[in-house]
Amino acid sequence: MSGAATPLRELDASGAAAPPRRNGELVFSEPWQSRAFGMVMALCDAGHLDWEEFRQALIAAVAAWEAEHPTGEGYDYWRCWLAALEHAAGRRRLLGTDEIDGRAGWILSTANDGGHHGHPHSH
C-alpha cells in the first residue's frame, strides 16, 4: 500500500465492497467477522497487502456469490470478505494455500465460541 491513506478511511460507503453499517458504524454479528476485518486492516497497514487489490478481490467475491445465488438469499458480506482475504493473501504468497485454508477454517470454527477456541492465553 502506498501509505497515503489507511484502508479504514478508504472503505466504500456504497456498492459491492461496502461493509454492513448501522448508524454509520461497522456491523459485526459474530466475532470471527471482526477478526477477519482486523486481519485485512493490519496486513494493509503493514504494507503486506495492497488495499485496492484486496478491494477488487472483494468485489469479485461478491459478484461470484451473486452469480451462484441469484435470489440473494443467505448473503453474508463477511464470508465474501474472508474469501477475498484468502485470494489476496494467496496472490501475495503471504501464506501457502494450506495455511490460508487452515486459518480461514479456524476463524469460521470459532464463530460460536466467542473467539476463545484454542487460544493459548488464560483469562
More confident residue, 120 or 54: 54
Q: Is residue 6 a contact partner of residue 89, using CB atoms and an 8 Å limit?
A: no
How far is residue 27 from each of residues 19, 58, 99, 101, 122, measured CA to CA in Å?
8, 17, 27, 25, 27
End-to-end Cα, the chain, rounded Å? 36
Confirm if 88 and 54 have CB atoms less than 8 A apart: yes
C-alpha 42/C-alpha 6 separation (Å) is 10
Q: What is the mean pLDDT of residues 16-28?
A: 92
Task: State residue 37's pLDDT score.
Answer: 94
C-alpha cell recorded at residue 103:
486459518
pLDDT in tens, 30-79: 999 999 999 899 989 989 899 999 999 999 999 999 999 888 888 999 99
Q: Which H or E run includes 40?
A: helix 31-45
Q: What angle do CA 17, 22, 26 make, to 5 degrees?
A: 50
Could you state, in order of their start, the residue ranges of all structural domains in the chain? 7-29+50-109
Q: Give the C-alpha separation, 123 to 116, whole Å.
A: 10
With bands split at pLDDT 50, 70 and 90, how would you rate the model's confidence at 16? Answer: confident
Residue whose grid cell is 484454542: 118
Mean pLDDT of 79-108: 76
Question: Looking at residues 14-27, what average pLDDT do you find?
Answer: 91
